[in-house]
Amino acid sequence: REQFLAFDCNSPEGKQLIGATAEWVPLAAFNSCEIADMTWGDGGVLAYMIRSVDLDARRFDRAIAVSGR
């Protein structure tokens, strides 16, 4: 079952959720494409991030989606 999280990375809650950035690695990233009618945020990138230990264990259900420029 998919879960989507929305948070401000600069908020105390966001910082606690993200934790040490060294633990997270990129899993996939998609640029916005107006021709395909796929835009993320304000024309940025949609990226899936996962902790290294979860990637090693193939726990893809623990990946998170983030968008930004």
Nearest to 66 by CA among 36, 23, 30: 30
Average pLDDT, the chain: 77
Give the model confidence (pLDDT) of 11-44 as tens digits. 776 666 666 566 888 898 888 887 888 777 677 7
Query: Which are the contacts of 4, defined by CB distance < 8 A and separation ≥ 6?
Result: 65
pTM tops 0.85: no
The residue with tokens 């990946």 is 63
Percentage of residues in the chain having pLDDT higher than 70: 64
Amino acid symbol at 14? G
